[in-house]
A and B are shown apart, each in its own frame.
Chain A
C-alpha cells in the first residue's frame, strides 16, 4: 500500500457501499474457556451465560478475566438478500478473534498465542460466502484477550450487504492456501501443505504481521459442467499492491508488470477491483481449476483484502455493469 490512503484502508474496507440488513447486537451466549467444538452450529449452548454485545466482559460480571472466551448467537436469514454480497460486522474486538459462520471459518484478526499479536484497533468486517448461508444461521466468535478489557467491545454489530459488491456465480471467498516468498508460486504443486488464509482479508491480520514483499495464494476449484459453456471472469476484489494471476499454471493476467516499480508508477493499484477474463480453453468440465495469485506488497497492509472474490459468467458481468450504469 502506498501513499496517504494506507491508514483508512487497514481498518475499514472503505469505498464500499454497505447497508445494514440485520441488527445483531443484544443478548449472545458466552463462555470463558476454549474448545474448537464450540464453533459447530450443532453445539448445545443453552446452559451458557447470556451477555450483552457489544460491551467488554469486564462490564458483564467477568471483571479481571484475561484469556480465551467464546460468543455464540443465531439468526434467521433476512428476506431479499439473495444474490447480494453479505458481510458480518463485529466492530472492535479486544484483542484477537476468529469467526465461524455455521461452523466454517470466515475470518480472523490478530494472532492467538503462542505468537500472540493484538488487533484491538482494527474494525472487523468479514465477508460471508453465499454458500454458507442457511435459513437458521449460527455465528461463533473465539476471542482471546491479553490484558485490560476484553471481548466484543464496541461497534455496530450487524449483518451488512455491500451494494457495490458484484454478484457472484461461484463464490470463492473463504479459506485459501497461502505461502510467502518470491518463488512461492513454483511450489504450487504442494499448495495443500501451505498455510490457511481467509480471503478477502489483509495477511497482516492473519499471522503475517509486518510482512511486506511477495506471496502466493492458491485455490482449487471443482469445475461444474454447466459453467463450462460460459465465458467466465475471475474477480479477485482489491489487492494490495499488485498481482499476477495463473489458472492451471497459465498466466491469464496481471495488474501491470509484476515488479516493484509498478507499485510506484501506479499509486492507485491497491484500490482497483481485479477482474480477469479466463480463456475458454482453460475451462474444461473434467478438470479442476487451480487458481494461483502472486501478490507483491510494498508496505503496510498486503494481500487480497476486500471486495467480491469469485467467478461470474460474462452474461451476468455485462448485466452488472449495465445496471450499475443506469443506477448512477
Chain B
C-alpha cells in the first residue's frame, strides 16, 4: 500500500502544481484519538486531553503501530488572507482508508465507505469545496476528521494539507467552477447525502468524482453546465480551460465538438500522451457562442481504474492568449528532466 501510494504521488503529484494560494496551512500537530464518537465533530468539544500527532503521516508512524479501526483528528485554525470567493478548496491529501471531514461541525466531504462493508479510498486525493459562509473570517475555526483504517497503515497519510484558493481561477472571464449536472451509472455513497455541499444530480467541479461520493466508480460520466455568455466579452479569440481530466474526454459546446491543444513538449513521444495529467485548453471558434443567451457545455469523461473526473482547475473561459500562456507554463512545470533534455536537444 505504501508503495502504491508512492507511485500515485508521482503520477498525480503534478495535479497540484496549479497556482494555489494557501489560506490556512493545516500541516503540523493535530489532536488525535482512536475511537469513534459523533460528538467529536462538535467545534467546542474539549479535546485538551487528546494526544498530539503530526499530520500528514500514518498513525503507525506516530506511535499507534498495529492499530486498525476508527480514529479522529481535530485542529483549530484561522484563515489568514482576505478572500472573496464562493468556495475555498480544502486539500486533505491521501487518507487511508475512509474519511468524513467536518468544518465548524458541518460535514463538508466524505470518501470511501465505513464498516460494516468497508470500501477504501486510499488512492483518492481528497479535495473538498468549502462554502465560504462556513468559515469564520476573523476568529477560530475547527476541523474534525473521522477516519477508518481497515488494514496496514492508516490516517491522513500525505499531501499538501490546507485550505487554498486557485489564483489562476481569477484569470477566467467566465468562471465555470461549482455545480455541474452529473450523470453516471454509479450510485452515490449513502454517507455523502449528509454533506452540506450535496446537491441532487449535481457534482462540484473540480474534483475527482471519488471525492464527491462516487467511490470506486469507473466508466463514463457526463458533465453538463449551462452558462450565459455576455456579448461584450467577444473582443478576442477565446478558449475553454478544463484544468486536468482523468482520463479521456469529449467536449461539446452547443452541440459542437471542441478539441484540446495537444502539448508540443510531447512531440518526440506522441504515443505516450498521458491524458490524466494533460492540461486541457480548447480553442473556441467564436461562431459557436450564443451571444447573450444560454450556452450548453457537455463533457463526457471516461475513466478506467483509479480516480476519475475533471479533477483540478482552473475551470472557465478566457482569452486564448491567457489560456495558452497557462498551458505553456503547465507543460514546463510538468516536464521531467528527461523531457527537458529531449526538448533542448530537439530545439
Binding site for B on A (CB under 8 A): 231, 233, 250-256, 266, 268, 272-273, 275-277, 314, 317-318, 321-322, 324-326, 328
Contacts and interface: CB of A to CB of B under 8 A. Distances in A.
14 contacts: A231-B36, A231-B37, A250-B116, A254-B116, A255-B151, A256-B150, A277-B69, A314-B35, A314-B36, A317-B35, A318-B34, A324-B63, A325-B51, A328-B65
A266 B151 contact: yes
Contacts of A268: 152
B37 A314 contact: yes
Interface string B20-46: 000000000000011111000000000
Given A231-B35, A272-B151, A251 B64 contact: no
Contact of B66 (A233, A250, A273): A273
A272 to B, nearest CB: 7
Contacts of A321: 34, 64, 67
B76 interface: no
Contact of B116 (A233, A252, A322): A252
A277 B67 contact: no
A251 B117 contact: yes
A250 B115 CA distance: 12
Contacts, number: 54
B64 A325 contact: yes
Contacts of B33: 318
Interface string B145-166: 0000011100000000000000
B100 to A, nearest CB: 15
A275 B34 CA distance: 12
Given A256-B150, A256-B151, A317 B34 contact: yes
Nearest to B152: A268
Nearest to A269: B151
Given A272-B68, A322-B51, A328-B65, A253 B35 contact: no
Interface string B43-77: 00000000100000000001111111110000000
A325 B50 CA distance: 13
A231 B72 CA distance: 15
Nearest to B33: A318
B51 A251 contact: no
Interface string B124-162: 000000000000000000000000001110000000000
Contacts of A318: 33-35
B35 A275 contact: no
A89 B95 CA distance: 42
